[in-house]
Amino acid sequence: MGLKKIPISMITKQGPVTESFYDYLVSRYIAPFFTLFIKGIGVKNPNIVTLLSFLLILLSSFLVMRIDYLTNFYYRLLIALVIQFSFILDCSDGQLARILGRSSKIGAWMDRILDRVGEFFVFTCFGFAAYFLYGKKYFIALGMLTGYMLAAFTLAMSLGDSLLLENFKRVKAFIKKGDNPESSSSSFKDLLSKIFFFLNFGIGERYLYLSFFILINNIGLMLYITSFLSLTRTIGIVVHVRGKLKEYDKRLRVENDSN
């Protein structure tokens, strides 16, 4: 099966305008080659790819703890490549599942859990590495805070999705009437999202931060930036989900009153 023959729906569930533009670039133009290779060598279980992605992010965590080697550019390049390859496989597991027709809720759950555990572990290890390098204990706290906040805002998104799906049929009725509460994004906003993609702080951007700052050998700056972004992102998503839930509740009450 050639790359052009793979339906876009099997490559990514999102279009070119996504919350995380770097995620889209990797999943659309890079990961499919690895997906086809994995399929070609006979891997039939997407969970194996998920586990391999997780093991690679753990490997990068252990590598960064060898601070005596971090002065070597090629060693830092190796860490950056391991992190990026882990992200590519994280995109490929879902693609492989859809191509093989083996998508499942258990696989999706496993993917999310391992992503969060892996991110918490890697940011914590980066925090310890920064502490060993710079002698500042608060770097450990920043690394752990980042990992914790990433798990927190993912939980907030999942909880919001679950609550909204409970009223999916009624929400769908609003959409059919042409009153779509999700159509608030503008082309200008989408353009800004692409230009300043590194501020979106999706999983692709987070892996990109890890790779870039390990390459330039400035883990401390990375922890300052990612801890701030993870905190603001968490607050923003919680406020957004809360606002959407209140909006849907109001719309449902209006519909019930009209009936």
Report the range of poorest mean pLDDT among 13-17, 61-65, 233-237, 251-255.
Answer: 13-17
Integer Cα distance of 158 and 78 in angstroms: 34
84 pLDDT higher than 70: yes
* Residues 6 or more apart whose Cβ sits within 8 Å of residue 51: 114
Q: What percent of the chain has pLDDT over 90?
A: 36
pLDDT at 85 over 90: yes
Query: Residue 98 CB: number of other CB atoms within 10 A?
Result: 19
**Domains recognised in the chain with CATH numbers:** 3-258 (1.20.120.1760)
pLDDT > 60? residue 6: no
pLDDT bin (cut points 50, 70, 90) of residue 244 is confident
Residue 232: per-residue pLDDT: 83
The CA-atom distances, in angstroms, between 85 and each of 74, 152, 216, 256 are: 16, 25, 19, 51
Residue 183: band (very low, low, confident or very high) from pLDDT cuts 50, 70, 90: very low
What pLDDT, in 10s, does the model give residues 184-236?
445 655 666 666 566 677 788 889 999 999 999 999 999 999 988 888 877 87
The set of residues, in sequence order, having a beta carbon less than 8 Å from that of 124 and lying 6+ positions away, is: 61, 140, 143, 144, 147
pLDDT tens per residue, range 143-160: 998 888 887 766 666 665
What is the number of other CB atoms lying within 10 angstroms of the CB of residue 95? Answer: 24
Token pair 């490997």: residue? 59
The reported pLDDT for the residue numbered 140 is: 94
- The answer on pLDDT for 55 being more than 70 is yes
> How many Å apart are CA 212 and CA 141, to the nearest integer?
21
Tell me the H-state helices in the chain.
8-11, 21-29, 31-40, 46-64, 73-100, 105-134, 138-165, 168-176, 187-195, 203-215, 219-258
Q: Is the pTM of this model over 0.85?
A: no
More confident residue, 73 or 152: 73
